[in-house]
Amino acid sequence: MTTLWVLFIFLNFDLLLQTGQCTKTSGQVLSITPNTQEQVEILKNVSTQYQTGLWQPVSPHNIKELTKVHLYVPGNSSETVRNLLQRHNITHEVMLPNADEIIKMQMRNDSGDPRSGSTFYYRYHTLEDIYDWINRTAHDYPDKVKAILVGSSYEKRPLYALKLSLNNRPNKKAMWIDCGIHAREWISPAFCLFFVHYSLSFYNINAEMTQILDNMDFYVLPVMNPDGYKYTWTKNRMWRKNRSPQKGTSCIGVDLNRNFDANWCTTGASPDPCTEIYCGPFPESEPESQAVANFLRSHKESIQIYLSIHSYSQMLIIPYSCTEDEAENHSELYEMVKTAADNIKRYYKNIYTYGAGAQIIYLAPGGSDDWAYNLGIKYSFTFELQDRGKYGFLLPPSDIQGACNEALLAVKTIALKVMEKPQAATSSRQAGPAA
């Protein structure tokens, strides 16, 4: 009798769950391959309607025949969209059936003390947690870490870069790393936090890191787009741009990685504020890009390497993205990313593609890496971290460690390679062309 009661209660509880939240259709990510130009046009339309979010490519303009499109479709329009694709015989499969569940998993932060143990670095953190972490890190390592206010966001949030300087050697060169320029790429700020932690923990323990930190300072900006990042935690997980309102439209935000003065707003960016690749009203119109540009301009004599961290697609990118022309030291840069990708493959069995942005992706003008390169920082890179589309922007916390280790290996590889070079890049600016 008791068993029957238990069973009865259990079944009803199950029913309750089904009639409650569980019956709500989850958002999904679809992988869609258009086979004809007609299907391309239909897909371009679909991707701008039904509150869908285009993950890959970033703009409908770049949708091509026989090339995979990753599209986030919210629960309430998933049936409509899938019916439409079926009606037009467009090849598609569900890449992520339970996107909402994974978003919840990414937001879970189940620990009393948020900084207890190393697992802190293998979880995603709210913007408030990251500010708190910045303060504590600067406070805990007063002789090694300094928080520098480089500017503020449109919504007046501070932009702090951490300067890591592990010894007092004079005239050290430096590397700049920024994370979180695109709000939804959560693995990116996670990497910046991990990198700072690793540098502080493994100095004098890991031989390569010690050698690097003995010869080089680091500036690390963990969240370049704090307003957008905050928005992905509170309102829309798929948000990419910053949050500045634009004249004459209700559409919000500029793509900060199209807002720099490198062939600004040419093919590959858009003057339409309602697109994901809106370049802004003029170069450096946004306080976030302007802050970074100002800092780099005033530190260009010491900053030798520029690195911007993005996701996803596993790529190590070198200039140019804003033109099909080759960078002047292309082969040198190419050799560096090739070695980094080879190392990742050897140690972590994971594949990263590499090369000039315009060659391996598509034209993307106004990017920070090309701008920094043209400023004179001749070792300029953009990394696209994990994965290649299984989870996309919704990379589970359990994959943070692997993604960060791979990027760290690439940073080490490149930093060591640059250290081998005579300081030509910076000294030639003072002494004229190298002999």
Residues that bind Zn ion (CB under 5 A): 182, 310
Which parts of 144-284 fold into alpha helices (H)?
187-202, 207-215, 226-234
For residue 284, which amino acid is it?
E
For residue 230, which amino acid is it?
K
From CA 53, how far away is CA 48, in angstroms rounded?
A: 8
Tell me the CA distances in angstroms from 379 to 35, 202, 212, 263, 368, one per residue in order.
Answer: 39, 24, 15, 19, 13
Nearer to Zn ion, 78 or 242 (CB): 242
Pairing of strands 158-164, 145-152: antiparallel
From CA 427, how far away is CA 176, in angstroms rounded?
A: 19
Least CB distance to Zn ion at residue 239 (A): 12
Angle at 169 between CA 374 and CA 216, to 5 degrees: 40
Nearer to Zn ion, 157 or 241 (CB): 241
Residue 41 among the catalytic residues: no
Q: Which residues are CB-contacts of 271 (< 8 A; sequence separation ≥ 6)?
A: 265, 278, 279
Least CB distance to Zn ion at residue 168 (A): 36
> H-helix or E-strand containing 134?
helix 127-140
Angle at 379 between CA 376 and CA 381, to 5 degrees: 115
Instruction: Name which of 151, 188, 146, 139 is nearest 164 in CA terms.
Output: 146
Least CB distance to Zn ion at residue 182 (A): 3
Residue 156 tokens, joined: 């007046």
Residue 75 tokens, joined: 């629960």
Least CB distance to Zn ion at residue 297 (A): 23
Least CB distance to Zn ion at residue 313 (A): 10
Selected catalytic residue, list 284, 384, 406, 420: 384
Nearer to Zn ion, 218 or 393 (CB): 393
As beta bridge partners, residue 73 has: 28
Nearer to Zn ion, 182 or 241 (CB): 182
For residue 48, which amino acid is it?
T
Least CB distance to Zn ion at residue 308 (A): 8
Catalytic residue positions? 384
